[in-house]
Structure 1
Amino acid sequence: MKSRKTHKIIGLILVLPMLGWTLTGLIFFIKPGYSEAYEQLSLKTYPLENSLLVSAPDWQEAKLINTILGHHLLVKTKGKVEHLDPVSLLPKKFPTQLQYEALLEDAFLNHKERYGKIIKINGDHALTSTGVEIKLNWDRLTLNQKGNDTRLINLLYKIHYLQWTPFNGFNQLVGILGLFLLFTLTLFGVRIYITSRK
């Protein structure tokens, strides 16, 4: 009788976590809207207008790219990527707000439905009319996008993995406790089954 009561209490405690885990697990299996939420937004590049021979003895890798803002030289030295001006070989200055806007609008050409128009630029961050946040990594010349759908899926991941608070230590404790309760629930279930068979 005591086993049944304990089994019932643990079962009630685990109702919400199990419900959250099941629903989010189903979403992760089907993956609706994942392609857009985690789309890799790329800068639009153009054919190189001129051949340019540049090298340095300590470069491990060099890549010349042509965008709407002109030529960019990306070099890798000792595992670190640098963004240089291909003529002066000095670090290429971060674009002005107008240049950054032109760079993004060029990247949006085939994705207008998702990105809409740029409504705000703050440093390397930009916000679009569709609520998508974009961050420019100038050293690597890459874009990172995050929309409402991305934020929702990230929230579902947190629910699924019991990351319910901003405190990692507490979340781990909750996760371990959840696993312990699930294991205990299983043990009591087996015990009740064996007892009822007798």
Structure 2
Amino acid sequence: MATRGAAGSARGTRADEQRQRILAGAVAVFSRRGYRAASMNDVAAQVGLSKPALYHYVANKQALLVAVYEEVLDESTARAEAIVASAPSTREAVRRLLVDRVAYTCEHRDLLTICFEEESELPAELAEPILERRRAFEDVVLGAVQRHLDESGRTLPMAVRTYVNACLGAANWTYKWFDPAGPRSPRELGEDIAAALLPVLDG
């Protein structure tokens, strides 16, 4: 029994690894060609699989796009929750969230390009669960900001969600203009953007 379980676990691990390889290949193809122009043949060629073998792991191109969104949003939420849990203060939690979001965006520009530019390709029934995941991530950031305001007794000159959306918009837009060959690393750029946004919390 134990041997069979171990074998099943190994098969599961190999299948998971293959799906991750396919997802990475899809990201490369979608970011290079655009989702609409890309085909499952392109993805299969990218990862060195036959088209029938590819369909063994993923139902269709739309399912691949959904998987990209799920991967980014689930990872983003997990990172944000870990940052909030480990920060020594509520203000530092907000600062670290902003720095990390900029760094993540700059370091995963292919992924974020797909997420920000291909959302209209998802039908409503598939888009809604993705929007729920996005709200879950945004709520982690909003909660961190609100806890800092409650703790410090400060108020914002705008709705808290407006401030959070403005911060995330500034962080996310770096996928468009960040230059990997520029003078600032992703994390240094995150520090710069956080330094520009945090004074609103301290006012």
Q: Which has the higher strand share?
A: 1
Q: Which has the higher helix share?
A: 2
Same fold (TM over 0.5): no
RCO (CA 8 Å, sep 6+): is it higher in 1 or 2?
2
TM-score normalised per structure 2? 0.21
Q: Larger radius of gyration, structure 1 or 2? A: 1
